Amino acid sequence: MSEPDRTRVPLTGWGRYPRRDCEVAAPTDPAAAAVARAPARPLIARGNGRSYGDASFGPGLTVDMRRLGRLIAFDEATGELTCEAGALLSEIVAVFTPRGWFPPVTPGTKFVTVGGMVASDVHGKNHHGAGSFCDHVLSARLALGDGTILTCSRAENADLFAATCGGMGLTGTLLTVTFRLIPVRSSKILQETVRAPDLATAIDIFESGSARTYSVAWIDCLASGAHLGRSVIIFGEHAAPQDLDPSEQATPFARPSPRGKRVPVDFPTVALNRLSVSLFNQVYYRLQKPGRKVVDIDPYFYPLDAIQDWNRIYGRHGFVQYQCVLPLETSRDGLTALLTEIARVGQASFLAVLKRLGHESFGHLSFPRAGYTLALDFPANPETFALLDRLDRIVTEAGGRLYLAKDARMRAPMLRAGYPRLEQFNAVRRRYGLDGRFRSALSDRLEI
């Protein structure tokens, strides 16, 4: 079997920062992906490039997995699905929602691959109840870069499984993944919106809403003083047919026809200044009318997917996303400190999302842990980097960590402080001979 053809192309993550010329192969045959060999050059798998920073490309060969996206087995009785790692979540939603099945955990965009979901151990708006994606993964087949393929699960090669779940592609190339979908009775969500005038109220609302299936808050992070942490909290439950409009009850899985908007060219960098963001946030805050309504899964889970290429609004220099999690005990003080600092600088964060996370995952480098996670976008520029260094100190002091799938700029000491199981992770990589064989721009930067 010959190695797949390769080509050199400039690659970035979703934030379009940083950028690097990479050697890329896009195998159509799983055997070709499996035999892509290190250490002639180190490997890293790339899914749909929806991680924000530099996780999805590397100094050696970047293996684009999107052509390996076949659905291989589905059990109609249990919802157990086996697919190739390059399968897009959007296709899984399109195929299975009409049949009454939905992903157990979904990130805020459906344009991610299943391999990317495992490698980042993604969390959704239901993390407090359902855990992260890998909690629903039964097993995976992993190519180790020397021609070997191993199956790993909680029972088989369990150490490798724990390192792979959330392991950012650094333990091998996922070929197939088996996970369980959850049954749903419609393609609609019963949504309830609540306003919180400040952070303390927002946290109280989250804590008393722990029985809700989905919850997330959008924070107006330019609000300060008494309004600090002003937010809208959106709860959601999968709707039953009787929750729907009588005209829709006979066809509970009907979907609205797709309508894509696209950001055609890069916005001039000035478009997103403090004023426009402040306006956006105020308008958004006011638009979210408190109350209940039934909405389709798309606007509920994937509001940004309606605008293709929205990452271009930050202009050609790109942007960074900053997502941290703080332990429950330090969340109130830590979040206050973070939001105060952001409001003080007045840096424009287009989106600011707050969410309660449940328990820590078994994955060695998984991001989620019990506490609160805050995610913010900033244009990539020196002021942002200076601000983020200050936020790093607040996060580290609060005992928190940053999400690797979003990160483009933290440094190794912060990683080590936030991820105490890094040593276990490295030990597994050594045990299976994976260190050095799998490298990304992120792992080089963080000295993993």
Partner 1 sequence: MTPKSVLILGARSDIGRAVARRFAQSGASVTLAARRADALADDLADLRIRFKVVAEAVEFDATDGAAERFFDGLPALPDVVVMVVGLLGDQAQSEADLDAANAVMAANYTGPACYLLAAARRMGTRGSGCIVGISSVAGDRGRQSNFVYGSAKAGFTAFLAGLRNRLFKKGVTVVTVKPGFVATAMTAGMKLPPALTAQPSEVGDAIFTAVTKGRDVIYVRPIWRLIMTVIRSVPETVFKRLSM
Ligand X SMILES: Cc1cc2nc3c(=O)[nH]c(=O)nc-3n(C[C@H](O)[C@H](O)[C@H](O)COP(=O)(O)OP(=O)(O)OC[C@H]3O[C@@H](n4cnc5c(N)ncnc54)[C@H](O)[C@@H]3O)c2cc1C
* Residue among 61 and 337 whose Cβ is closer to ligand X: 61
Q: Are 221 and 281 in contact (CB under 8 A)?
A: yes
Interaction partner, residue 415 (ligand X, partner 1, none; CB < 5-8 Å by kind): none
Among 12, 51, 126, 187, binds ligand X (CB under 6 A): 51
361 binds ligand X (CB under 6 A): no
* Residue among 30 and 145 whose Cβ is closer to partner 1: 30
Interaction partner, residue 28 (ligand X, partner 1, none; CB < 5-8 Å by kind): partner 1
Q: Are 141 and 150 in contact (CB under 8 A)?
A: yes
Among 24, 34, 87, 119, binds ligand X (CB under 6 A): 119
233 binds ligand X (CB under 6 A): no
Interaction partner, residue 95 (partner 1, ligand X, none; CB < 5-8 Å by kind): partner 1
Among 45, 83, 244, 380, binds ligand X (CB under 6 A): 45
Among 116, 131, 318, 358, binds ligand X (CB under 6 A): 116
> Residues binding ligand X: what is the number (CB under 6 A)?
34
* Residue among 43 and 415 whose Cβ is closer to partner 1: 43
* Residue among 86 and 400 whose Cβ is closer to partner 1: 86
Interaction partner, residue 67 (partner 1, ligand X, none; CB < 5-8 Å by kind): partner 1
**Which of the stretches 107-115, 154-162, 232-240, 270-278 binds ligand X when contact is defined by CB under 6 A?**
107-115
Interface contacts to partner 1, rule CB under 8 A: 4-7, 26, 28, 30, 67, 70-74, 84, 91, 95
**Which of the stretches 16-24, 111-119, 144-152, 217-225 binds ligand X when contact is defined by CB under 6 A?**
111-119
**Window 126-145: residues binding ligand X (CB under 6 A):** none
Interaction partner, residue 120 (ligand X, partner 1, none; CB < 5-8 Å by kind): ligand X
* Residue among 14 and 179 whose Cβ is closer to ligand X: 14
Q: What is the 3-state secondary structure (H, E, C) of the chain?
A: CCCCCEEEEEEECCCCCCEEEEEEECCCCHHHHHHCCCCCCCEEEECCCCCCCCCCCCCCEEEECCCCCCEEEECCCCCEEEEECCCEHHHHHHHHHHHCEECCCCCCCCCCEHHHHHHCCCCCCCHHHHCCHHHHEEEEEEECCCCCEEEEECCCCHHHHHHHCCCCCCCCEEEEEEEECEECCCCEEEEEEEEECCHHHHHHHHHHCCCCCEEEEEECCCCCHHHCCCEEEEEEEECCHHHCCHHHCCCCCCCCCCCCEECCCCCCHHHHCHHHHHHHHHHHHHHCCCEEEEEEHHHHHCHHHHEECHHHHHCCCCEEEEEEEEEHHHHHHHHHHHHHHHHHHCCCCCCEEEEEECCCCCCCCCCCCCEEEEEEEEECCHHHHHHHHHHHHHHHHCCCEECCCCCCCCCHHHHHHHCCCHHHHHHHHHHCCCECCECCHHHHHCCC
* Residue among 281 and 440 whose Cβ is closer to ligand X: 440
**Which of the stretches 120-128, 152-160, 202-210, 234-242 binds ligand X when contact is defined by CB under 6 A?**
120-128
Interaction partner, residue 351 (partner 1, ligand X, none; CB < 5-8 Å by kind): none
Q: Which residues bind ligand X (CB under 6 A)?
A: 13-14, 44-51, 55-56, 65, 85, 107-109, 112-113, 115-117, 119-120, 122-124, 168-169, 173-174, 304, 405, 440
